[in-house]
Structure 1
Amino acid sequence: MAAELGLSLGGILVDGSDPYRSAGVENTVADRDVCWISLGSVERWFFFSGWSRGVQLVSGATQDLGEMARALEAWRNGLRLKEIREVSPFVEVTELAEAHEKGPAEAVAVKWRLLLEDLRQESERLELARRTLKVAELAHAEPQLRRLLPLTSHWSLHFSTCTGFPYSWDVPFIDPMSDGRYRVCGPSRGTVIGETETAEHAITLVIAGLPANCGPAVAGTAGDQQLF
């Protein structure tokens, strides 16, 4: 299809474990991963997603193989996310993905806003969400924590020094407890720093446990950080 449309996708990669239902296209830009497409199991659909430095920037599904080929060429050649959508309207690009494209600082800022918005919605019906929201708002007010990427997991509030997955585990996290207190753990889940009566004290413990020279979150994954 690419040949029929006069497109250049370079060498097509094959997944040896599933050679008839998937294919990959290498990129000409360093920061973008191989883009893999796969087939629907029941109906004629083509699925794809594009990742860069641990972040999914684009995704989508189409029944038009020509439209998919255009999207793959746009991704391969390093077009910006907005430009890829213009080439292939089926491509989905989130607000957070566009923020990542602008750099780690923008991604962190947008992630904080989206996380707080989600917690405020959930806090209307869940007590744990209200308590997580409280510590998240306090953390966002602290410059040292506001520049880290915030994450939640089972209502625990985490902070990453990188913006891509897998995220880092070098910063303590806060776990709201069922009895109303807060447990601060880290850097591993099994290491308990302390249990506090107040969200404010929990934030203090996190700041005290920050690693040396803990700067703003950087682009990439925890694995990338280990290379330096």
Structure 2
Amino acid sequence: MTSNATSSARHEPRTADASLYPDLVSAGGFAGALEAVAADLGLSLGGVLVDASDPLRSAGVESTVADRKACWIGLGSEERWFFFSGWSRGVQLVSGATRDLGARALEAWRKGLSLAEIREVSPFVEVGELAEAHEKGPAEAVALTWRRLVEGLRQESDRLGFAARMLQVAELAHTEPRLRRLLPFSSHWSLHFSTRTGYPYPRDVPFVVPLSDGGFRVHGPSRGTVLGEADTAEQAVALVVSGLPAHCGPAVAGTADDQRPS
């Protein structure tokens, strides 16, 4: 990341301040400005997408890669910044902020370049460790997410009792092969396991909730269903495993939406 934009400048406005973007105004909107820049640079963006209700607010391009969503660039409200974001199968793979329109980054995303290639073309683009893991495949993303989850709980365990007991469950669950191959995530001090690596996650696997009395309750797969209560983390993990659906895992790319009938 090469820019020094402040956090306050990074919020996408509801209505763009036209005085910050005279080039967009003179071009009749974001699409016109992008198309003009693309023509000058010899880029191919295909049909530029805009919000018809506010053509000055944002613009995007479709990707030629089936699993990549349309990539969008939005505008800063307090300073002139263009914010870049690209998602694939429920995971944000690229982000960043630039002073120009980001046309090269949009073309790179549209053409299906790798994350490293997109960064090479547009150095302002940020690619995180988790995005790189997702690019390598679901197994890499799952392994990294487990490591990050356990490390985060360890950092909080000294000051938060719930974190300490969540850590007990997480460390034990990671030793169970049937759970280790699922994507873990925490929500409202409960530990979940997902059969998909993208958000929104499906809720088709039991999960563990630490209780204030020191025990655990296992729900599953919905919060309204209680599989049982456990005195120890070992018992809680065993309850989760006993409630796993048939042929569960390993986690695959995609989101809960991919499991819903069309």
What TM-score comes out, normalization by structure 1 length? 0.96
Q: 2:74: which partner in 1?
A: 38
Identity of aligned residues (%): 76
Does 2:215 correspond to 1:181? Answer: yes
**1:88-134 CA deviation, whole Å, 9 max, x = no partner?**
11111111110100111111011111111111111122111111011
Q: 1:195: which partner in 2?
A: 229
Q: How far did 1:227 drift?
A: 4.2
Q: 1:27: which partner in 2?
A: 63
Cα RMSD of the aligned pairs, angstroms, is 1.2
Give the distance between the partners of 1:18 and 1:131, measured in 2 at CA: 49
Which residue identity lines up with residue 27 of structure 1 in the other structure?
S
Does 2:111 correspond to 1:77? Answer: yes
Does 2:161 correspond to 1:118? Answer: no
Output aligned runs, 1:152-171, within 5 Å.
152-171=186-205
Structure 2 gaps, min length 5: 1-36
Does 2:87 correspond to 1:54? Answer: no
Structure 1 gaps, min length 5: none
Q: 2:34: which partner in 1?
A: none
Find runs of 4+ consecutive structure 1 residues off by over 3 angstroms: none
Give the distance between the partners of 1:43 and 1:207, measured in 2 at CA: 51
Q: How far did 1:213 drift?
A: 1.0
2:60–2:106 Cα contact (<8 Å) kept: no
Give the distance between the partners of 2:261 and 2:255, measured in 1 at CA: 10
What secondary structure does 1:82 align onto? helix
Larger-gyration structure (1/2) = 2
What TM-score comes out, normalization by structure 2 length? 0.84
Aligned length, in residue pairs: 226
Output aligned runs, 1:200-215, within 5 Å.
200-215=234-249
Q: 1:195 to 1:18 in 2, by over 3 A?
A: farther
Give the distance between the partners of 1:196 and 1:153, measured in 2 at CA: 19
